[in-house]
Amino acid sequence: MTAQTITITQPDDWHVHLRDGDMLNQVAEYTARQFGRAIIMPNLAPPVTTTALASAYRDRILAATSDYPDFQPLMTAYLTDSIAPEELVKGHEQGVFTAAKLYPANATTNSSFGVSDMKGIYPVLEAMQEIGMPLLVHGEVVDSEIDIFDREAVFIETIMAPLLKDMPELKVVFEHITTKDAADFVASQGDNIAATITAHHLQINRNDMLVGGIKPHLYCLPVAKRELHRLALRKAATSGSKKFFLGTDTAPHAIGAKESACGCAGIFSAPHAIEVYTQVFEEDGALDQLEKFASLNGPAFYDLPVNQKQISLVKESQQVPATIGEGDLTISPYQAGEILAWRLV
Ligand code: OTD
Ligand code: ZN
Ligand code: ZN
C-alpha cells in the first residue's frame, strides 16, 4: 500500500521572525524551503522603522535564502509613536513595505519602541487606510493590572473595537489569535478584518506549558490559554472561512535564553510548520480545508496572486530533531524529539 499523499498550492507564512546576522543565516532556510512568501516581522534591535532599513534587511534575507531563489520575503514597518505617514506611504509605493506592524509598547520581544498612544498614530493609520496597506496587530494590552491570560480579550474591547469604529475601511490582521474571544470577534467583522493562527496555538493549551513541570520551550506571547480557546481556534482555522490564515509566529531563541531564570518568549516552529498544520487538519477531518487556510486565504486578503508551485505531503512519520543549529545559537525546535505524522516531500 502506498502512503497517503496530499498536494496543495504552495503555502505562505503570514507571520515570521527571521532575526538577523548568524541567527538569520541559521533559521531562514527552514521557512524558505516550505513557503513561497513570508511576512517578515520587524522587531529587530533596533526595529525596522524606515524604508531604507527594511530594504537592507530584505537583501540580507535574500542572501540567507539564496538556495531558494523563488522565496519572497514581504517586509513590514515597525510602527512607533513618531513614525511619519510619508515614510510608510513611500515604502509602500516603492514596493518595500507590504504592511505595518503595531506592537503596543513592551508587549513582546524587542517591542520597547512600540506604540504607547493609539490616537497619536491616527494620521499614520488614516494614510494606511487610504492606500489599502494592512495593519498587523499584536493584540494584547500591556497594563500591569491586567492578568496575562486576559490581555487579548481586554485588547479587543479597549483598543481593537474602538479603532475599527474610527477606521472602518482599514485592513487589519489580528495576529496570532489565542482566544475564542478573538476568533469570534474576527468572524463577526467585515471582510477587511482577518487573523493569523499559529500551529502551536492549535496544539497546546496552558496545561501543556505548566503541568508536570514548566516547559520553557512552550512559552510564547500571547501565552497559550485554556482548552476551550484552543478548540475555538481549531474550529476557526478548519472552518474554511477566508478570514483565517496561516502565520506560524516562529520566533527562535537560543536554548540558553529559553532555559533561564527569566526565559524569553517565543517558539521556533519553522522546521516542520506545514507538517504540524497538516496533522491538525487531518485530526479534525478537515484536510480538504488545509489549502484555503495555508495557501489561498492569505493572498486573497493581501491582494496578491496565489503561488504557482505546488507542494506535496506524504503520511509518513518522522522525528523532530532534539536540537537545531550550532554552538551558542543551538535552538530547541517546537516538538523536539516528537514524532510527526506527515512529511513534506
Ligand atoms: N511572540 N516571541 C516573539 C514574538 C512573538 O508576539 C509575537 O509576535 C519574539 O521572540 O520575537 C513571542 O513569544
Ligand atoms: Zn506578536
Ligand atoms: Zn510574532
pLDDT band, residue 1 (cuts 50/70/90): low
Which one of 136, 249, 268 would you pick to mutate in the ligand 1 pocket, going by the greatest count of ligand atoms within 8 A of its CB?
Answer: 249
Q: What are the pLDDT digits (tens) for 199-214?
A: 999 999 999 999 999 9
User: What is the structure's pLDDT at 106?
Assistant: 85
pTM of the full structure: 0.98
How many degrees, rounded to 5, is the angle at CA 163 between CA 298 and CA 240? Answer: 25
* 221 C-beta closer than 6 A to ligand 1: yes
Given the residues 12, 13, 181, 249, select the one marked as catalytic: 249
Q: What are the pLDDT digits (tens) for 66-107?
A: 999 999 999 999 999 999 999 999 999 999 999 999 999 888
Task: Using DSSP bridges, classify how beta strands 5-9 and 310-314 pair: parallel, antiparallel or unpaired.
Answer: antiparallel
Q: Which residues contact 305 (CB under 8 A, 6 or more apart)?
A: 299
- What average pLDDT does this structure show over 270-290? 98
Q: Name the residue among 62, 122, 57, 44 with its Cα closest to residue 91.
A: 57
User: What is the structure's pLDDT at 109?
Assistant: 80
317 Cα to the center of ligand 2, angstroms: 31
249 is catalytic: yes
Distance CA 50, CA 122 (A): 18
| Cβ pair 65, 28 in contact under 8 A | yes
The residue whose C-alpha atom lies closest to atom 8 belonging to ligand 1 is 249
Alpha-carbon torsion, ordered 284, 288, 294, 296, to 10 deg: -140
User: What is the structure's pLDDT at 3?
Assistant: 83
Q: Which residues contact 58 (CB under 8 A, 6 or more apart)?
A: 40, 73, 75, 96
* 290 C-beta closer than 6 A to ligand 1: no
What is the per-residue DSSP string for 100-112?
EEE-BTTSSTT-T
* 258 C-beta closer than 6 A to ligand 1: no
| Cβ pair 338, 323 in contact under 8 A | no
User: What is the structure's pLDDT at 273?
Assistant: 98
109 Cα to the center of ligand 1, angstroms: 6
User: What is the structure's pLDDT at 110?
Assistant: 82
Amino acid in the structure at residue 74? L
pLDDT above 90: residue 272 = yes
Residue 173: which CATH number?
3.20.20.140
**Domain range enclosing 194:** 5-344
User: What is the structure's pLDDT at 184?
Assistant: 98
Strands, E, within 121-254: which ranges? 135-137, 172-174, 193-197, 244-246
Q: How many domains does the chain have?
A: 1
**Which residue in this structure is represented by grid cell 498550492?**
9
- What average pLDDT does this structure show over 1-28? 96
Distance CA 299, CA 35 (A): 13
Task: Using DSSP bridges, classify how beta strands 318-319 and 339-340 pair: parallel, antiparallel or unpaired.
Answer: antiparallel
